[in-house]
Chains A and B, each alone.
Chain A
Amino acid sequence: MMIAHVLSRIATAPWFRQSARPCPPGRCTFACGLIAWARRCVRIGAVPLFIALQAGAVRADDDDLTELSLESLMEIEVTTVSLRSEKVGETAAAVFVLTRDDIHRAGATNIPDALRLVPGVEVAQINASTWAITIRGANTRYSNKLLVMIDGRSIYGPPLSGVEWGDNQLVLEDVDRIEVVRGPGATLWGANAVNGVINIITRPAQETQGNFAQVAAGSGEFALAEARSGVMLSEHSALRIYAQARNTGASDLSGGQSADDAWRNGLVGFRSDTAFESSDLLVEGGFQYRKSSDLIDVPSLTAPFNTVATNDTDSSAGHILGRWTQRFSDSNALTLSSWLDHRVRHDFRFNEKRTTLDVEMQHVFVPVDGHEVVWGLGYKRVAETLDGGFTFTFTPVTRTTELWSGFVQDTIALVDDKLDLVLGAKIERNDYTGTEVQPNARLLWRPAQGHTLWGAVSYAVRTPSRWENDLRANLRVLPPFSPGNPTGLPLVVSFFGSEEVQAERVTAYEVGYRVQPTSWASFDTAAFYNDYSHLYGAVTGTPFLETTPAPPHLVLPLEARNNETMQSYGFETVGTFDVTQDWRLQGTYGLLKIDSTLDELSGQSPQQQASLRSFYNINDNVNWDMTLRYVDQLPDLQVSSYVELDARIAWRPIHGVELALVGRNLLQRSHLEFGDGNLVLTEPAEVARSVFLSLSVRF
């Protein structure tokens, strides 16, 4: 009765009926469609649905693992320390896990496209090989408050504080899952995990035995070839080797001209896993090469002063990683890991050579009943040479920085299986701002009747890197006697980094609620309020005369300062329904509101995002999957909202062979996803409709 009453209230509410009216042509089609769908659902289907849910709760206890298949049981993550399965439903944070199947069935060919499926993650493609990706706001090409790791190796790059996605490709077939934590994760992962953490985890070599090869080709001169081979080195030791080559053709600018942004990359690598009786050893390494181009603004001191030119980029990167886990008992384990990453990048603006060494230790144990303690120590050393030209100059050219860190976190079972309190803090000492302490407190409550509620308060920092300290960037040259420059000399607008800058800070408040009423339906919602201070901005200094390089010119300095603030709040929610055994639906919605002293922080992220995914198995050998995505406008970048559809149909004619036809962005010929915003440093291109065919073989 109560359910029917609530549904009835929704269905008859004036706002709901009004919102389901036909939309003005071309406006919010997706949103209106969803509202209309929801309205129909409430009117026709929701009552029986929720009565069924209620019946299901009595019939099938979701906590009953005996109803899971062996395959499902083998997928449950087990933390050796806590003696508890580490399920998403048990985490006091906004976590979303993209499984390998999710990625595969989305037809994604790169990590950014896979991340479009995660609620609360903002993915905007800038050109063929460049993306702006963030979580919970402040999106730009180098989103500096998002930490991204591959098997625990950070790919967050210090020169411009962000991730160069085009330089970090993977064979997606070998990705086990992508764990996305929205909100600060600094206590465990350290600085720069301010707005979120993306942890890409590849599959153990034992799971990738045999051979795999895939070729794909389609519109936009897209071609992809990848192969992998796995062997057992001994009874307990396995190895895989893999390689990939990719070509993506140039896209168009909004005006129709070529964006000159063709992209090629290749990679080779290996992963070896050895499972001893009480320990595991992981060793992996890889090398990748990228060659791409884009259009950039090039300022100069002579006429025509500012030109748009093609910028050729080539980069190469190699890494090796080792991780040893020793289990002393089911409640006591030690992990030692280390990785070395070396990369070289040549670009019009600057050449980069960077070597990173990282060593970490982590120990988890149960000191007394009801406490689970994880603590660790870390050291990172980054040696970097940034050799610029007129546009970008780093002083000093070469700099080596060190980072020391230690953390401890205690999960306290206040009430067994009901209430957990998590307290933790990380202390880091870096060469830019000295010592930073990042604490957090989390509470996880599992009431008896099947809800998981959690709340968290965290403090995190984003530490500065080379560009805030060492960079001088000549952004634009105003010609003599032009608007903004009444003088007879060229006026160079220049950004100057400063040794005085401090860390950016956030205090985050989060709450979340998860419920899985039956084995075929689940909901997960998280809401947040983030209060940022000491954000980077710039103040205009006093113009001065500079005689070198010639000709003499005036400089209008913009000096880095921690003078901006921001408050953001919103929520993300995801609901998953197994409609039938062969049909799954997943809907997501995210709302983000930003108030900031800096326009570009509030206007470069979509206020709303929504998606609806359908996974349908037509039969055992044919899948038909679709994703409808809505992304709100970016007012500060003059980017309109858009609705797009991705679809994939896959057919397995014989065992081990799959043929798939994938269409991406099918609703429009092309659309713009990002604009010429802060630190974008390239001409944004249109993202075009594309179709490709792929063939994969396992043998």
Chain B
Amino acid sequence: MRGHSQHNTKRACLRPRRWAALWGACLMLGALTAGPLAAQSIDEIKAAFVFNFVKFATWPESKMTGDTIHICVEAGSLDGEVFEGWDEKVLKDKAVVVDIVEFPGPDLARCHVLYVGDRGGQAIEDAPFYDNAIAGHVLLVSGSENFIERGGHIRLFIMNSKLSFEVNLEAIAEADISLSSQLLRLASNLGS
């Protein structure tokens, strides 16, 4: 037979209520100082990838003469709300400007990166803006299937429940853009 519970054993210095009070106070203090902890949509994560791509991309000097970095997003591709607050951000010592663009639309020459919406498997090379984008050194990013096989630069996709990306180095070189090795080592595929 095992002995009865030794409930009379006193622990002189560790009283649950005290700990609860102490830790609870810490939590309250944390709460008082809290920042937002809202849900993150997949669009927010994709947008954050785009933000990081800009960090690791290098454009020709002619493209970097202004005071702004233009992140262009095809209307309807990513939720516009995810870019709230981006106008206060700085990349490469330049103010970030997010432009929501529609096609046929404005000249893309000002865009450093263009996030392209789902084209239903249609070749990006056939899109009316493609030639201008390449000539204007615009980095083309999309989550569209077959995007890099059909002329796109970086494709975001879900693998094993996580976002990953693949890169078409050849097409990027054609646009006279280079990506740092820090970014390329994380790519799933560097094929063309």
Residues of A at under 8 Å CB distance from B? Answer: 2-3, 6-7, 10, 15-16, 19, 21, 23-24, 27-28, 31-32, 35, 38, 46, 50, 53-54, 56-57, 60-66, 68-71, 73-80, 83-87, 89-90, 204, 206, 235, 273, 275, 277-278, 280, 327, 330, 417, 446, 448-452, 513-518, 521, 523, 525, 571, 573, 575, 589, 591, 593, 599-600, 602-603, 607-608, 632-633, 635-638, 641, 675-677
Q: Is the CB of A16 within 8 A of B33?
A: no
Q: Is the CB of A78 within 8 A of B158?
A: yes
Q: Which of A10, A84, A448, A600 contacts B39 (CB 8 A)?
A: A84
Binary A-proximity of B157-179 (CB < 8 A = 1, otherwise 0): 01111111000000000000000
A-B CB contact pairs (8 Å), 7 listed: A7-B29, A10-B22, A63-B35, A66-B48, A206-B188, A451-B37, A599-B5
Q: Which of B13, B25, B37, B89 contacts A446 (CB 8 A)?
A: B37
List the A side residues contacting B47 at CB < 8 Å.
65-66
Main SS at interface, chain A: mixed
Q: Is the CB of A515 within 8 A of B34?
A: yes
| B21 → chain A closest CB, angstroms | 8
Give the 10 A-B residue pairs with the shortest CB-CB distance, closest first.
A31-B14, A65-B48, A450-B34, A53-B33, A635-B6, A57-B35, A54-B33, A66-B51, A603-B5, A85-B40
Binary A-proximity of B10-53 (CB < 8 A = 1, otherwise 0): 01111110111111011111111111111111111101110110
Q: Which of B2, B41, B52 contacts A70 (CB 8 A)?
A: B52
Q: Which of A23, A71, A78 contacts B12 (CB 8 A)?
A: A23
Q: Is the CB of A280 within 8 A of B159?
A: yes
Q: Is the CB of A636 within 8 A of B48?
A: no
| A89 → chain B closest CB, angstroms | 6
Binary A-proximity of B46-86 (CB < 8 A = 1, otherwise 0): 01110110001000000000000000000000000000011
Q: Which of B11, B35, B163 contacts A60 (CB 8 A)?
A: B35
| B135 → chain A closest CB, angstroms | 28
Q: Which of A3, A69, A417, A518 contacts B35 (CB 8 A)?
A: A518
Q: Is the CB of B27 within 8 A of A525?
A: yes
Q: Is the CB of B5 within 8 A of A635?
A: yes
Q: Is B109 an interface residue (CB 8 A)?
A: no
| A-B contact sample (9 more), CB < 8 A, given A74-B162, A573-B27 | A27-B11, A61-B85, A66-B48, A83-B42, A206-B188, A327-B158, A449-B34, A518-B33, A676-B2
| A77 → chain B closest CB, angstroms | 5
Q: Is the CB of B2 within 8 A of A637?
A: yes
- Give the complex CA separation of A515 and B28 in angstroms: 10
Q: Is the CB of A15 within 8 A of B18?
A: yes
Q: Is the CB of A66 within 8 A of B12?
A: no
| B116 → chain A closest CB, angstroms | 16
List the B side residues contacting A16 at CB < 8 Å.
18, 22
Q: Which of A2, A65, A517 contacts B30 (CB 8 A)?
A: A517
Q: Is the CB of A608 within 8 A of B23?
A: no
Provided the pairs A31-B11, A31-B14 are in contact, do residues A677 and B42 lie with their beta carbons within 8 angstroms? no
Q: Is the CB of A70 within 8 A of B183?
A: yes
- Give the complex CA separation of A66 and B84 in angstroms: 12
Residues of B at under 8 Å CB distance from A? Answer: 2-7, 9, 11-16, 18-23, 25-45, 47-49, 51-52, 56, 85-86, 89, 145-146, 158-164, 183, 186, 188-189, 191
Closest to A448 in B: B36
Q: Is the CB of B23 within 8 A of A525?
A: yes
Provided the pairs A79-B161, A80-B158 are in contact, do residues A56 and B33 lie with their beta carbons within 8 angstroms? yes
Provided the pairs A68-B48, A70-B52, A523-B26 are in contact, do residues A516 and B9 lie with their beta carbons within 8 angstroms? no
Q: Is the CB of A28 within 8 A of B12?
A: yes
- Give the complex CA separation of A280 and B40 in angstroms: 24
- Give the complex CA separation of A71 and B163 in angstroms: 10
Q: Is the CB of B13 within 8 A of A31?
A: yes
Q: Is the CB of B13 within 8 A of A32?
A: yes
Provided the pairs A50-B29, A54-B32, A513-B27 are in contact, do residues A19 and B18 lie with their beta carbons within 8 angstroms? yes
Q: Which of B21, B23, B32, B51 contacts A3 (CB 8 A)?
A: B32
| A443 → chain B closest CB, angstroms | 15
List the B side residues contacting A452 at CB < 8 Å.
37
Provided the pairs A53-B30, A54-B32, A85-B42 are in contact, do residues A62 and B13 lie with their beta carbons within 8 angstroms? no
Provided the pairs A16-B18, A16-B22, A70-B183 are in contact, do residues A65 and B12 lie with their beta carbons within 8 angstroms? no
List the A side residues contacting B56 at CB < 8 Å.
70
| B25 → chain A closest CB, angstroms | 5
Q: Is the CB of A599 within 8 A of B2?
A: yes
| B80 → chain A closest CB, angstroms | 15
Q: Is the CB of A521 within 8 A of B30?
A: yes
Q: Is the CB of B29 within 8 A of A53?
A: yes
List the B side residues contacting A54 at CB < 8 Å.
32-33
List the B side residues contacting A69 at CB < 8 Å.
52
| B119 → chain A closest CB, angstroms | 14
| A401 → chain B closest CB, angstroms | 33
- Give the complex CA separation of A73 and B26 in angstroms: 29
Q: Is the CB of B159 within 8 A of A71?
A: no
| B96 → chain A closest CB, angstroms | 9
Q: Is the CB of A6 within 8 A of B42?
A: no
